[in-house]
Amino acid sequence: MYRYTRSYTGPVQAIILDLAGTCVDFGSLAPIQAFLTLFESEGLSLTEAEAREPMGTEKREHIRQLLAMPRIRQQWRERSGAEPTEQDIERLYHAFVPFQTQAIAERSELIPGALALQGFARDHGIKLGVNTGYSREMVNVMLPELYRQGFEPDSVVCATEVPQGRPAPYMSFCNAMELGATAVQGCVKVDDTATGIEEGLNAGMWTVGVVASGNAVGLSREQFDGLEETVRAQRLALSHRKMAQSGAHYLIDSIADLPEVLACIQDRIEAGDCP
DSSP classification of residue 20 = B
CATH of domain 30-106: 1.10.150.240
Consecutive sets of 10 residues in the chain, 275 residues long: mean pLDDT of each? 65 98 96 96 95 93 96 95 95 96 94 98 98 94 96 97 96 98 97 97 98 96 96 96 97 97 97 93
pLDDT on residue 71: 96
Over the stretch 182-210, which tens digit does the pLDDT of each residue have?
A: 999 999 999 999 999 999 999 999 999 99
List Cβ neighbours of 28 (8 Å cut-off, separation of 6 or more): 20, 21, 52, 55, 192, 214, 215, 218
In b/e form, how buried is each residue of 74-99, taking b as 16+ CB within 10 angstroms?
A: ebbeeeeeeebeeebbeebbeebeeb
Active site residues: 18, 59
How far, in Å, are 43, 45, 91, 168, 217 from residue 79 at the CA level? 8, 11, 16, 34, 32
Burial (Cβ within 10 Å: 0-12, 13-18, ≥19) of residue 149: middle
Check residue 166 and report its DSSP letter: T
User: For the packed helices 86-106 and 29-41, what is the interaxial angle rounded to 10 degrees?
Assistant: 130
Identify which of 214, 220, 260, 252 has the alpha carbon closest to the alpha carbon of residue 55. 214
**The CATH number of 14-28+109-270 is which of 3.50.50.60, 1.10.3720.10, 3.20.20.105, 3.40.50.1000?**
3.40.50.1000
Domain-by-domain residue ranges, the chain?
14-28+109-270, 30-106
200 neighbors 172 (Cβ within 8 angstroms): yes
pLDDT digit string (tens) for 153-165? 999 999 999 999 9
Whole-number pLDDT of residue 7: 80
Work out whether the CA dihedral 232, 243, 162, 125 comes out positive or negative: positive
